[in-house]
Structure 1
């Protein structure tokens, strides 16, 4: 009898999670793309975040804001991916420094767009700006998703937008922020 009750509970949990997955997967993939700057990795990162949510679903489903929990997991996964990439680039630079060829005048086309400017922001500023302006989250929801204070969200968003303004110009930033400037 116990097994039957447990099976029914598992089915209900699986059904709830499936609904959660369907409702939030696209949002998490978009967030992963904006935070990482890697469109090819966005789906994998979103899936990994949702897998972590599934493993904790008994706790997450009872939370006040399960989507914020998922965004926080995703942000941590992206942060780890960025750190790994930086470590790998450093290793490659050390190895490659011994075998590099110098190019006197490289032909580099400079294209400034929002994604490139976002990549130049430190991770926390970028995350705050993206969650606040691209995902239209409140300061409270952003703080909850990142596990930081509302004051930190305010300061990091403000500093991030100021840095974007220096990189892109104030008109572009006003458009990014939805005409707030």
Structure 2
């Protein structure tokens, strides 16, 4: 790779690494996994740098790689979890409430309950403040799909966060009654 291309990639890396890791974190909820996924995405960007650099929006291209890698990671985790449940290795951990429930709403936890595309739309629209058109370009879907997925995701988040708040209030009332 010519020196000027290597310098351009290095500058891109320095400007965008933290943002891509943050995107991966918001999609996975796991900081160490997010760092790995951002690194993997930037490796792919490096491998295809001439194509990325020539793209209309290199950042959107990189974000698309991150969302695809996180989708693959989530799917792999689901398959692994199903396998462990099938072998009864996770029996007893499923549905067991944590007795030390934090008093603060955990948006990351609520986000983890959203399907991947919905979660990606919500995160890109609200956490990264991208337009619907930009989100569509990153995810490779239509603007209409972004609108519907974002709307459904926001509604689902509100319901999840509302039910968490209701559980905390109910739990608090039970504690006070004791």
Report the TM range for the smaller structure's normalisation.
0.7 to 0.9
Question: Which residue of structure 1 lines up, in the alignment, with residue 175 of structure 2?
Answer: none
Question: Which residue of structure 2 lines up, in the alignment, with residue 10 of structure 1?
Answer: 2
- The alignment partner of 2:87 has SS state of helix
- List runs of 5+ in structure 1 lacking aligned partners: 1-8, 173-181
For 1:112-131, what per-residue CA distance to the aligned partner results, in whole angstroms no more than 9, with x for missing partners? 41011100111111000000
Give the distance between the partners of 2:142 and 2:91, measured in 1 at CA. Answer: 45
Question: Which residue of structure 2 lines up, in the alignment, with residue 119 of structure 1?
Answer: 112
Pair 92,59 (structure 1): closer, same or farther in 2 beyond 3 Å: same
TM-score after normalising by structure 1: 0.82
Q: Does 1:139 align with 2:132?
A: yes
Shift of 1:108: 3.5
The worse-fitting range, judged by mean Cα deviation, of 108-117 and 141-150 is 108-117
TM-score after normalising by structure 2: 0.83
Pair 107,23 (structure 1): closer, same or farther in 2 beyond 3 Å: closer
* CA RMSD across the alignment: 2.4
Question: Which residue of structure 2 lines up, in the alignment, with residue 42 of structure 1?
Answer: 34
- List runs of 5+ in structure 2 lacking aligned partners: 166-178
Which of 31, 46, 53 is residue 54 of structure 1 equivalent to?
Answer: 46
How many residues align? The count is 161
Give the distance between the partners of 2:98 and 2:16, measured in 1 at CA. Answer: 42
Pair 100,71 (structure 1): closer, same or farther in 2 beyond 3 Å: closer
